[in-house]
Structure 1
């Protein structure tokens, strides 16, 4: 077994970096969705939702950077083109969404897809003894589960 410079099995680290690139691509789509609904939201809930969407896209932007840096730490190259993002995309793309319930539902649907990817990475990172990736996924999952719960409560 060959270990990389941070003591992980090289093959497992490469597989994790590939999965993290999938997550990165989908986070970029989620981020762009959030920007779009932030810009285009209309209606009586505009002020509350406009601010909430900005909070969410600011957080997503930070997470995009963390994911890319983890990929680099594992010795691989992060995806960085729109073509790559769309080719790896599982998160729904929201276009011209200005209605509040549709915008919030897009967030729930997007996070549901991200959570699936993150749980898969969490399983694999545990198997690879990759505590850095494992911890990141655990933190992301905990936070996003709460956001899904809050958004679903808002929708009810």
Structure 2
């Protein structure tokens, strides 16, 4: 089996890069959703949600950079055009959402989809002993599961 300079199998690493690019594209869409929610939220919960969406999009921006750098570390090229993002998106695009519950519901739906993508990557990275990707996905999943729990609690929904 041919390995790269990281000691990872070349073919499987290319598959990892493709999956990480899908995650990158979806995080970019998620980031834009969060910016729109931050800008357009209205109502009595404006101050709390305006800050929360800013916190979430700042966190997403950091994760986007981490994903792109991991793709580069694995020898790939990160997707970087809006066309790439839209053609690889699996999450819903939110447009002109100003209602608090609709906004939180969009974030919940997006997080559920991101978690699905991350779990696929986590499984693949485990199978090829790609600890760098594995650790990153584990951290993302842990944080997003907690955020999902909190948002569902805010919506008074069960996990």
TM-score by shorter chain over 0.5: yes
Residue aligning to 1:20 = 20
The corresponding residue for 1:8 is: 8
Name the residue aligned to 1:35: 35
Is 1:139 the counterpart of 2:124 in the alignment? no
Q: Partner residue of 2:84?
A: 84
Q: 1:150 offset after TM fit, Å?
A: 0.3
CA RMSD between the two structures: 0.4
2:54 is the counterpart of 1:54: yes
Q: Following the alignment from structure 1 to structure 2, what is the Cα–Cα distance between the partners of residues 131 and 5?
A: 14
Find out whether 1:66 has 2:66 as its counterpart. yes
For structure 2, the residue ranges without an aligned partner over 5 or more in a row are none
4+ residue segments displaced more than 4 Å:
none
Shift of 1:5: 1.2
Normalization by structure 1: what TM-score? 0.99
* Superposed displacement of residue 84, structure 1: 0.5
Which string of whole-angstrom CA distances, capped at 9 and with x for unpartnered residues, describes residues 9-40 of structure 1? 11111100000000000000000000000000
Q: In the TM superposition, what is the alpha-carbon distance from 1:152 to its structure 2 partner?
A: 0.4
Deviations 1:108-141 (A, max 9, x none): 0000000000000000000011000000000000
* Structure-2-length-normalised TM-score: 0.97
Task: Give, in angstroms, the shift of residue 101 of structure 1.
Answer: 0.3
Q: 1:79 Cα deviation (Å)?
A: 0.3
Instruction: Give the Cα–Cα distance (whole angstroms) in 2 for the partners of residues 56 and 89 of structure 1.
Output: 19
SS at match of 1:61: helix
How many residue pairs get aligned? The number is 156
Give, in angstroms, the shift of residue 87 of structure 1: 0.5
Task: Tell me the residue number matched to 2:111.
Answer: 111
